[in-house]
Structure 1
């Protein structure tokens, strides 16, 4: 397989140099591995020994690393390239460089120091993946446990994101309902205002009618009082005349 040197990676996870993958070499490698697998089996049969599977710790570590951090594959000029995660053990200097790269990229990409920031989250995720890679090389079990922690953390974040999205949707629905209810209330307010104006006009009209009725009643009362006074005066005058006539009639008899 051909290899090439690549520039500085855009991720904090340490990868090996990309390898050109070809079908011919894959088949050849498969036949060679098949032949190698057959040799110990035949030799064990000849010697009468029980066949056993000999596991290579380095190969097992590579498989675990490829499971935790899958290889990158891409097509370039009709060729398939693959880049596996590095299996080189990390030193104290590598950890220091990782911290410096993390701080540098946080500053270069202008990540927020507080609050929600996708850039900061992505960089810290890459840093955690690199720590898992370093730990897995030294202790696969510890690396797998860190993998569980990473997956649980991602599931928790995704659950919070789903909850946030659902709360945003719920808030939007409530806001639309509130706007719709607000429009209905405004229409109701306008109707009540119009009804209030009509009632005020009715009150003014009724007040005018009442004032007119009061004036008419007062005029009628004055007219009746005047008529009554005139009638009393006429009756008193008539009574006085009749009294005078009566006295005139009675007086000669005496």
Structure 2
């Protein structure tokens, strides 16, 4: 593997310089060299290799191709000093200000930078104590899972709200159309009521006229019968009365 000097990365996690991966067999050779070095310092080399494996499982190496060559970059296994921790806090504040992260509320930029800071702290702790680093990894994964669950719930609630808003808008349009139809039906019914009222008045007026005509005719018939009755009565009295 070849190695080159790395320019400053846009991350708070400390990485080693990238190395050029030429062949797969060369990687195997490096493992053999490490195994051979165990003869001289088995405890130290084994512990460093175990720490590197844990770091790579926590923060996987970054690989990319450049000009047909494969480069790999792993996180640093160098222990952090008190000055490094203070510098990390200063870099965090500086990048929060540079990227104009919001101080309150939901801010993807702030979350990204604090995630990088937490990963760097996990790296520093893992170098000194692998078990403590793995425990912090569980805490990190739990926080991410909870945050992702809240985000999924938020997106689901947004989608639910949008569906309800669309349904309400569609229901509003349907209701407005129903109101227009009911208004039209109301106008038609009012016209029918007016027509029926006019017909009822005509029928009532005609019935009154017929009743008056019937009453007049009935009165004339009664008068005629009374007059006829008087004439018959007079004739009967003339017949029955004794002649003088």
Identify the TM-score tier after normalising by the shorter chain: 0.7 to 0.9
Q: Which residue of structure 2 aligns with residue 17 of structure 1?
A: 17
* Residues in 2 aligned to 1:31 and 1:124: alpha-carbon distance in whole angstroms: 39
Cα-Cα RMSD: 3.3
Q: Which residue of structure 1 aligns with residue 189 of structure 2?
A: 199
Q: Which residue of structure 1 aligns with residue 4 of structure 2?
A: 4
Kindly provide the CA deviation profile for residues 167-207 of structure 1, in whole angstroms up to 9, marking residues without a partner as x: 44444555555555556555555554454444333333322
| CA-CA distance at 1:128 after TM superposition | 0.5
Alignment of 1:220-239 (within 5 A): 220-239=210-229
Q: Does 1:63 align with 2:53?
A: yes
Instruction: Tell me the TM-score normalised to structure 1 length.
Output: 0.77
Q: Which residue of structure 1 aligns with residue 103 of structure 2?
A: 113
Aligned residues: 241
Q: 2:72 aligns with which of 69, 77, 82?
A: 82
Q: Which residue of structure 2 aligns with residue 50 of structure 1?
A: none
| CA-CA distance at 1:86 after TM superposition | 1.6
Deviating more after overlay: 130-139 vs 102-111? 102-111
| CA-CA distance at 1:116 after TM superposition | 2.3
Describe the shift of the 1:8–1:30 C-alpha distance in structure 2 as closer, same or farther (beyond 3 A): closer
| CA-CA distance at 1:22 after TM superposition | 2.6
Unpaired segments of 5 or more residues in structure 1? Answer: 41-52
Unpaired segments of 5 or more residues in structure 2? Answer: none
* Residues in 2 aligned to 1:33 and 1:216: alpha-carbon distance in whole angstroms: 123
* Residues in 1 aligned to 2:51 and 2:189: alpha-carbon distance in whole angstroms: 89
